[in-house]
Structure 1
Amino acid sequence: MTGSASAIGRRARLTIGLSSIALVGALAAAPARAQEAPAAPTTAAPGAGSGGDIIVTARRRDEGLSKVPIAITAIGSEDLVKRAVTSDADLQRTVPGLTIRQTQGNNSLTYSLRGQSADIFSGSPSAVVTYFNEVPIPVSGASSFFDLQSIQVLKGPQGTLFGRNATGGAVLFTSAKPTDSLEGFGRLRYGNFNRVEGEGALNIPIVDDAVLLRVAFNITHDDGFIHNLYTGDTLGRINREGGRLSLTLKPTDAITNTTMLQYAKSTGTNTGASYTFSVYAPGETNNGHVLSSGAGFLFGPTLDLAFGPGAWAAYLAAHPKAYAPGLLAYVDEQRRLGPYVTNHPGGDRHFGESWTLTNTTEMALGANLKLRNIFGLVDSYTQSDQPQLGAPYATILTENAPKGQLGNVDDLRSYTEELQLQGQTGALDFIIGAYFQRQRVNTLYPQTYFDLSPNPGFPSYATNYFRIKNYTDAIYAQGMYDLSSIGAEGFKLTAGLRYTRERVFGFQLPGSDNFGAPEQERTYRAPSWEAGLQYQASPNVLLYLKTRGSFRAGGYNGTLNPVSIAALGASPFFNSETTQDIEGGVKFNGNAFGRRATLNLALFNQWIQHVQRVEFPDPDGAGPIASIAFTTNVPAERVRGLELEGSINPADWLRVGGQLALTDAKFTKNTVVLFGNSFSYGPVGDTPKSSGTLWAEITSPIDPAVGQLALRGEVYAQSGQYFSNAADTIAPRTRLPGYALVNGRLSLNDIGGSKLSAAVFGENLLDKQYFVGGMQLAVALGQNGAVVGKPRTYGVELSVKF
């Protein structure tokens, strides 16, 4: 593997950074030790317990979920365990409306929310931004969740307080912080497919309420679940390990400095788009559009039409594992083999390594004024060889053998710095801030197209290797005014504004087929805003109405040849995407019919202009093999829908609830012209029209000498969705069917009055066969692959708290 030497350098830089930040925080605060300031109020962890309000940080401060006028799903540490949320993919069944799309398999993920996402091969930033301890982090390969305080999903544009490109929403991961108690836990799981998971944490108060340390770890192994007939390998193998160190310094009562350093490593095999989903035949059309059919034509007996009699026989002789009837016929063969068998001739290895450093300093400047500084550093490297079709033909591989390049590579480094001033004066709560980010990503895409050897001229090789740098600067302010001060009892008015400048630099690196052009730059500027009115109708009922506007910065198409594009009078850059929405909702947290109940309802309508989507145009007229992924701007999209969450305790021993998301997304102006050709978009991909979960929890306090018995069952279901944004025209047969999954967990807690617990659990208990994403290569090659969801999994768990 490459990257070993660079990893050592990264470890050194991050260790130095950790030490420096902790030292500077302590020294800078030391002179103020004698100052007195009121301690911050103690709050419950998000999602903790069912009897009180969940604490969330959607407005960059601790607030009760039922008091925050925004659609949020919050999952606390206890629920993360109950619902077996251990990786990104698990979030989809716990947050209806959120789609975790797998494009090239389990290590190629994109978050989609309210019809907003980023297409495969796109240079577009994600429309759903993920944060770890308030620091934005990239999502590429699946990660393991361990020792988290909470996960919060904020829905809709988040342009003011979580500004960078969050036109669809934001997902906030918060790690468990050090406490002033000597405590910890350990957890071990074992399941089918030889899955082993171990995690634990230890909290050490080195100096009472002044120097607090917490260490945590996670190890995951899984043998995988897709058998590759061609190579004998198993796809979906997982080997992940991660460790985290958190240090809190309180040099005075007024200052708290928390530093978190996390290392994660992942190896194994990619599931890939290993199910051959659809292939187009020569001459096939869809709604009047002629379909690309290069793969279906060349990988079959029709090869003789291109190279003369005997060409296909010669190919089969050189490739004895190929399916003799051809690729078009293999679609039916794949259905016969089923979803957990593939026939991919290329590699599938995955390697990922990342370091994440976050540092948060809070300084109380008075009873109602606080200064916060948030610093982040993310350094990650991934190299993945991705199966892109399950058929036994090398139509496309993420490899360039002549250059010794195996797998797509992403090498990312990002620095962020954010300074906030939070306070209250009279009836006004306010936050003022400045945000800066410097991000650099080196991306390598090696490719092999159409290995038809021994026929002359094939295979064709290509390498895209480019660097994109993003320099982001922003200032923002938001305030909430209590109108009770002027006689409007229960009403509060919120207004916020953010202004962002983002400079994007694109450069073709040495080794790229497109190397030679100088670095290019474009600057994007835009405001983001929010205005809303909320009414506390009673202590238990909140009503709100708000409108927001945000933008997703434009970017650079690294797969293009900038010299050739300039000769055509075009640019490798694409424009910013802008959006506005209206959201209204009601939140209830109290008693209904004498029983504890919660209800959160949101209705929204969102408009998007210059929507960033990918197309595969043919800029030089060389045919399908020369088509490249090109991010362009579709004129307009509209998304509207409903999101509902609720729960009730019909009895002291029973709690039931559910979630529902209904989403109607549509391109209202759907035509773009690229290089003289017109392309139409629709339906909107990665957006099921409906999804939801029904769940129930039964808690039975049996003999205290035995323990407490708890049973949880849930059903998650969603309607079908497209993995293409052009199924009505040039990419038909890219709709994945809907499905329903049944999950359950039975646990015995506090066994014999101890702190030992045991559980049995299962996911997809009915062994439903389903798909979780797809690889759309309809225009480029005339083929599409799908990503298979996990079969039935089950296991046992032992845990102990101390």
Structure 2
Amino acid sequence: MHKARLKPTLFLSTALLAGLATPALAQNADDSTTGDIIVTAQRVEQRLQDVPVSITVFNAQQLTQKNIAVATDLAVYTPSLSVNERYGPEKANFNIRGFNQDAATAPTVGVYFAEVVGVRAQGGTTSGNTVGAGAFTDLQNVQVLKGPQGTLFGRNTTGGAVLLTPAKPTSELGGYLEGTYGNYDQIRVQGALNIPLSDTFKVRIAGERNKRDGFMKNQSGVGPEDLNNVNYSYARLSLVADLTPDLENYTVFHYSDSNTRGYASKIIGCATPASPDNPLNVNVGTTGYSGTRHLQAASCAVQLARQTARGDGFYDIETRNPNSYLNIVQWQVINTTTWRASDSITVKNIASYGEFRERANFDLGASNFVIPSIDTGVGLNGQPTTGFSARRLSGSLPNVVLAGGQPYDRIVLDTAGDNTNNAAQSTFTNEFQIQGSFDKLDFVLGGYLEFARPIGYNVGRTAIFLDCARPETITCNNPLLIGSISESSTKFNFDNHGIFGQATYKITDKLSLTGGIRYTFDKIVGLTNSTRAGLSANAGTGPLFVDPVGGRLIARACTDSFRHNRTGPRADPAVVANPPALDRSVCTTVLTNKSSEPTWLLNLDYKVTPDLMVYAKYARGYRQGGLNFTNPGFEVWNPEKLDSYEIGLKSTFRGAVSGYLNLAGFYNNLTNQQVFGSLQPTAEAAATGVAGGNAVINAGKSRIYGAEVDGSVGLGEIFRVAFGYTYLNTKVKDVAPRAIQGDGSPLGDRLVGTPFGSVNPNVQAGSAFVLSPKHKFSITPTITLPVDESVGDVSLSATWVHQSSYINDGSVPKFVNGLPLGFTPATNLINLNLDWRSVAGSPVDLSLFVTNLTKEQYNVANTAAWNSAGVAEIIPNQPRFYGVRLRYTLGN
């Protein structure tokens, strides 16, 4: 770990430079002490305590104090919120109340910036559908809405929605500049400048630069020294033009460029014949034997022995990928036109266009494997050798022993050329609203259009069991004789449209009824012409030819041998008369998935007093189906539906003891649930090279219930404590049993005509959901020191976050060698923050911060490689970070 090197001179100079800028503009009159916070959970501005929705809100000051810089930081302080970090924080997705997104499924939590959903994308790993790195810069607030939000925010919000509201230009000349220096050589500079060019035209500019070394230390001596670093730039331009006293045009453009060395996983165990869960079969020819699993588990043992001999720590890893990186560029322009047509009617139009691009080269499971030495015999050179028998990998290989000690890669993902992207998508949206506010009736009516179109192909080259300097150029050796390059190439067109309306009628001054309905139309059209490239020709590929990217001699076969092979069950000889070679159009498959579903809401709320409200709500939510070309015959799946029931209480108290207390209890029924199913090929398909896989299928029914507490209590001006708690009980009620092709069951019928002989859902009836701790508790006491006003405002806060144990992956063992793998143990995080605002009456604020004070170490995810590779790998949590922050402000 790097030692902190505090550089006061850096921040003094930063503060002086800030004289060129001016201050943070005054936010809305948010008072987080009593819950008098302005939110837009119902698409109009309302006081938090008047909205019958369970919400957690962070204002600009709280976001700074809690060091919330990226989306994953938000989950630490929001008890109902967790994140899936399987592919690193830049590609993480949200989980609320147990609703989780994985692989190519649609999100369960919508992420909105300035009321517009994140740019859609679908690459080989989780991509898009969220905000870019740096988007938490210069926000008015962040709102976490819990429970289905389908009426006003659309499909794919079964878990809830996260709303980021940027600071809007105002009539005040102001700005700020803030600098942070921390351990791991973190340097973060951000600022904003608000310029009222006239009474009717205002501009706000904001930006951030954030760099930090990685905390995963690579011990292989190959490639980068550290991974899991931070390196992004962010910029935003906001314009407000008051065209008339009743007509406002508000435009926001924001741009994010994150370019890191990617994420890494840590090996903690390897399968052996004595493993209690899916032990390693080492006997060739017996039922369940897998040569590739045997190979990787034995190689894993060699690496694990090296790690043990060195005395590696929790954040030490080995990866031999020389070019690891992850580059995500995302931008979006949003235009909101608001016309106050009368005292009662407001017309609003929100249009946006954005683009997402991702380029990556990373080891799917960080490793530094060599061929193990477990067999003796004749090598490829005809000489006696010790290593691994080729016949263990395939009976069609020569009867030779592959020499031990030779390096090989498992699965390394790369780009497919200089001007290509692993994922690239544009998204256009337009939402039209009519808002009405009368004596007893408030309503919102609207229509929504979304068109997401590919920016070229989503392409990549993935090296499988090769030894590559770069998969992109196929600069590879084939030490195992079975290596190949998977050449993914897909395009997706998404159309998502809806019409909606929601109204609140005041039955009495205290009792209100809210009803809403939305009808959504979804359509996905996917195209693939993916291929498999090898370094030698065979009967299924045709002759060798020169690869135009790397100049290497390769041969190709269509990945979808299901449809594009003359012996395949759906083959068309007229189409597949020739192997693909340079003409990948031979492998083209086009599929469509359509759905249209209503979502609705009924809510009754009663204001006992102006500061006490109770409510009861019923809502229908749905998550759209999807399409993924990974598993031929199982490419599409249908929507899942949710019925949600919730009761809640919102209370505010004022005086010497002030604050608010919000309670919510909920019960959810989930049907037609999207789960993973393990596919096994038929013997005939396996002989042609078809492997098993995990497909998304509709095979489950579940229930979720729980309770949420959110509050803040203050004693005068000296002491305040904010707290939150979530109890979450999730259970799979029913799941389809394992099906065999042609057995007459719904899943068995789906197998007919596919290359797969069986499908087995990866979840079991009675099990809990993944990434869903039963208890999560957060408490933040803050003491404001009673010092003279001339000194400034000095406060000390500490946050304790307790999270109970949970399953992070139900398809792998909970423990391997006594270490958690598919199970995350209970954790306790402590974060500290010292704030000295207006230092000695100056415009300078000083802060000291520490996160993960006690150096808690635990796994946040795993690579799910145990069953296929016999390797236990985890994604570790973040270590202790600490630093100093200076902020210079001019203006109010």
TM-score normalized with structure 1 length: 0.84
Q: Given residue 862 of structure 2, which amino acid in structure 1 is its aligned partner?
A: G
2:318 equivalent in structure 1: 343
Summarize the Cα distance change of 1:52–1:607 in structure 2 as closer, same or farther, 3 Å threshold: closer
- In the alignment, structure 1 residue 678 sits paired with structure 2 residue 760: yes
Q: Given residue 396 of structure 1, which amino acid in structure 2 is its aligned partner?
A: R
- In the alignment, structure 1 residue 480 sits paired with structure 2 residue 508: no
- In the alignment, structure 1 residue 781 sits paired with structure 2 residue 869: yes
1:149 aligned to which of 137, 140, 151? 140
- In the alignment, structure 1 residue 612 sits paired with structure 2 residue 593: no
1:107-163: CA deviations, max 9, x gaps? 3212111111111xx221110110001110034686122001111011111110011
Summarize the Cα distance change of 1:408–1:96 in structure 2 as closer, same or farther, 3 Å threshold: farther
Whether contact under 8 Å (1:278, 1:331) holds in the other structure is no
Give ranges in structure 1 of 5+ residues lacking alignment: 1-41, 302-321, 566-570
2:661 equivalent in structure 1: 599
2:38 equivalent in structure 1: 55
User: Displacement of 1:202 after TM fit?
Assistant: 0.5
1:530 equivalent in structure 2: 601
User: Displacement of 1:414 after TM fit?
Assistant: 0.7
- In the alignment, structure 1 residue 425 sits paired with structure 2 residue 446: no
Distance in 1 of aligned mates of 2:306 and 2:130 = 29
Distance in 2 of aligned mates of 1:205 and 1:763 = 38
1:436 equivalent in structure 2: 449
2:463 aligned to which of 422, 425, 448? 448
- In the alignment, structure 1 residue 186 sits paired with structure 2 residue 251: no
1:77 equivalent in structure 2: 60
1:716 aligned to which of 775, 796, 801? 801
Summarize the Cα distance change of 1:617–1:334 in structure 2 as closer, same or farther, 3 Å threshold: farther
Summarize the Cα distance change of 1:432–1:670 in structure 2 as closer, same or farther, 3 Å threshold: same
Summarize the Cα distance change of 1:801–1:459 in structure 2 as closer, same or farther, 3 Å threshold: same
Larger mean Cα displacement after TM superposition, 100-109 or 666-675 = 666-675
Larger mean Cα displacement after TM superposition, 228-237 or 382-391 = 382-391
2:423 equivalent in structure 1: 410
Summarize the Cα distance change of 1:422–1:267 in structure 2 as closer, same or farther, 3 Å threshold: same
- In the alignment, structure 1 residue 752 sits paired with structure 2 residue 840: yes
Larger mean Cα displacement after TM superposition, 133-142 or 597-606 = 133-142
User: Displacement of 1:686 after TM fit?
Assistant: 1.4
- In the alignment, structure 1 residue 502 sits paired with structure 2 residue 519: no
Distance in 2 of aligned mates of 1:405 and 1:295 = 32
1:396 equivalent in structure 2: 410
Larger mean Cα displacement after TM superposition, 700-709 or 374-383 = 700-709
Partner SS, residue 617 of structure 1:
strand
Summarize the Cα distance change of 1:335–1:538 in structure 2 as closer, same or farther, 3 Å threshold: farther
Distance in 2 of aligned mates of 1:665 and 1:473 = 31
Whether contact under 8 Å (2:27, 2:140) holds in the other structure is no
Distance in 2 of aligned mates of 1:331 and 1:499 = 58
2:615 equivalent in structure 1: 544
1:246 equivalent in structure 2: 238
2:697 aligned to which of 618, 632, 640? 632
2:810 aligned to which of 716, 725, 741? 725
Summarize the Cα distance change of 1:781–1:439 in structure 2 as closer, same or farther, 3 Å threshold: farther
1:589 aligned to which of 644, 652, 655? 652
Partner SS, residue 398 of structure 1:
strand
1:314 equivalent in structure 2: none
Distance in 2 of aligned mates of 1:595 and 1:698 = 15
Q: Given residue 470 of structure 1, which amino acid in structure 2 is its aligned partner?
A: F
User: Displacement of 1:333 after TM fit?
Assistant: 3.6
Summarize the Cα distance change of 1:400–1:179 in structure 2 as closer, same or farther, 3 Å threshold: closer
1:123 aligned to which of 104, 124, 129? 104
Larger of the two Rg values belongs to structure? 2
For 1:728-739, list aligned pairs within 5 A.
Answer: 733-739=821-827
Summarize the Cα distance change of 1:508–1:647 in structure 2 as closer, same or farther, 3 Å threshold: same
Whether contact under 8 Å (1:167, 1:579) holds in the other structure is yes
Distance in 2 of aligned mates of 1:84 and 1:504 = 38
Q: Given residue 453 of structure 2, which amino acid in structure 1 is its aligned partner?
A: R
Distance in 2 of aligned mates of 1:266 and 1:289 = 40
TM-score normalized with structure 2 length: 0.76
Whether contact under 8 Å (2:825, 2:858) holds in the other structure is yes
1:518-539: CA deviations, max 9, x gaps? 4222210100000011010112
Q: Given residue 504 of structure 1, which amino acid in structure 2 is its aligned partner?
A: I
User: Displacement of 1:558 after TM fit?
Assistant: 2.4
- In the alignment, structure 1 residue 470 sits paired with structure 2 residue 484: no
Distance in 1 of aligned mates of 2:75 and 2:600 = 28
1:271 equivalent in structure 2: 263
Whether contact under 8 Å (2:845, 2:886) holds in the other structure is yes
Summarize the Cα distance change of 1:214–1:142 in structure 2 as closer, same or farther, 3 Å threshold: closer
1:661 aligned to which of 704, 708, 726? 726
Distance in 1 of aligned mates of 2:145 and 2:279 = 41
1:576 aligned to which of 639, 642, 646? 639
Distance in 2 of aligned mates of 1:437 and 1:340 = 42
Q: Given residue 730 of structure 2, which amino acid in structure 1 is its aligned partner?
A: A
Whether contact under 8 Å (1:420, 1:433) holds in the other structure is yes
User: Displacement of 1:335 after TM fit?
Assistant: 11
2:225 equivalent in structure 1: 233
Give ranges in structure 2 of 5+ residues lacking alignment: 1-24, 119-127, 282-287, 370-407, 468-476, 533-558, 561-583, 740-746, 752-757
User: Displacement of 1:283 after TM fit?
Assistant: 8.2
1:18 equivalent in structure 2: none
Summarize the Cα distance change of 1:67–1:131 in structure 2 as closer, same or farther, 3 Å threshold: same
Partner SS, residue 435 of structure 1:
strand
Summarize the Cα distance change of 1:52–1:726 in structure 2 as closer, same or farther, 3 Å threshold: closer
Whether contact under 8 Å (2:815, 2:823) holds in the other structure is no
Distance in 2 of aligned mates of 1:331 and 1:586 = 57
Partner SS, residue 326 of structure 1:
helix
Distance in 1 of aligned mates of 2:198 and 2:76 = 42
User: Displacement of 1:766 after TM fit?
Assistant: 1.3
Whether contact under 8 Å (1:375, 1:418) holds in the other structure is yes
Larger mean Cα displacement after TM superposition, 720-729 or 407-416 = 720-729
Distance in 2 of aligned mates of 1:148 and 1:102 = 24
Partner SS, residue 143 of structure 1:
coil
Whether contact under 8 Å (1:467, 1:558) holds in the other structure is no
Partner SS, residue 58 of structure 1:
coil
User: Displacement of 1:225 after TM fit?
Assistant: 1.1
Summarize the Cα distance change of 1:331–1:604 in structure 2 as closer, same or farther, 3 Å threshold: farther
2:712 aligned to which of 628, 647, 660? 647
Summarize the Cα distance change of 1:416–1:237 in structure 2 as closer, same or farther, 3 Å threshold: same
User: Displacement of 1:300 after TM fit?
Assistant: 5.6
Distance in 2 of aligned mates of 1:472 and 1:734 = 35
- In the alignment, structure 1 residue 161 sits paired with structure 2 residue 152: yes
- In the alignment, structure 1 residue 355 sits paired with structure 2 residue 331: yes
- In the alignment, structure 1 residue 107 sits paired with structure 2 residue 178: no
User: Displacement of 1:84 after TM fit?
Assistant: 1.0
User: Displacement of 1:450 after TM fit?
Assistant: 3.1
User: Displacement of 1:268 after TM fit?
Assistant: 1.6
Whether contact under 8 Å (2:34, 2:660) holds in the other structure is no
Partner SS, residue 532 of structure 1:
strand
User: Displacement of 1:445 after TM fit?
Assistant: 4.9
Give aligned-pair identity as a percent: 27
Summarize the Cα distance change of 1:619–1:437 in structure 2 as closer, same or farther, 3 Å threshold: farther
Distance in 1 of aligned mates of 2:720 and 2:414 = 55
Whether contact under 8 Å (2:257, 2:328) holds in the other structure is yes
1:491 equivalent in structure 2: 511
